[in-house]
Structure 1
Amino acid sequence: MSLADNIKIIREKQGLLQKEVANHIGVDKSTYSKIEKGGREVTVAELQKLTKLFNLTTDAILNYDENLIPKEVVIEDKTIIEQMQLLEELDEEDKNIVFKMIDKMLTSKKFKDFFAKNVSSL
């Protein structure tokens, strides 16, 4: 695939309009359209702006392969063991945040359960 093809595919996968990308890199929509069709080369400055917009490296854009880009992880459809393995992949700070959130939710649940049980008996 060409750079023009890669840019178009990435833009579409990220749900961006041509106009949005054109504005971000500082060209009009018709000029951007030419870029995607291969009728105009991308300047280095434009490519640098694309890396920021797409949150990809220059190399990832030039050699785009959608199979190499990490996909969104959805933990809900995983088994408990898979969920724990995914949590183990987090760095320590992120793990601590996740566990603090779980602690807070469990504590809130215990208080709600306690309150519901004791208020209902009055």
Structure 2
Amino acid sequence: MADLMHTHRTGYSKMENNQQDIPVDKLVFVAKHFGISVDDIIFFNEKNNVPNEVSMEDTAVLEQLKLINELDTEEKNILLKLIETFVSKKRFKDYLQKNIAAL
């Protein structure tokens, strides 16, 4: 698999063992290779089942990921920071709502 992904075996091993994040372009490649969505890869353990078929929505997300992959490194980093910010805000909001409801 490392050879197919054009990745060194040590780097692939680190990705496989959650010691290194998988670059978006590699994630898209793996999804295409196995005919599944990126979502199915990311949330496989949470779903705890066999990945579903690719839907039209998944295809749209995949197309967006392809476009993101075409960005230069600086643009990708900016986009990832924006996503992290929104996810953090959402998690914090959910945390507050859960704890306020418990009072």
Quickly name the TM-score band, shorter chain normalised: 0.3 to 0.5
> TM-score, normalised on structure 2?
0.43
Normalised by the length of structure 1, the TM-score is: 0.37
Larger Cα Rg: Structure 1 or Structure 2? 1
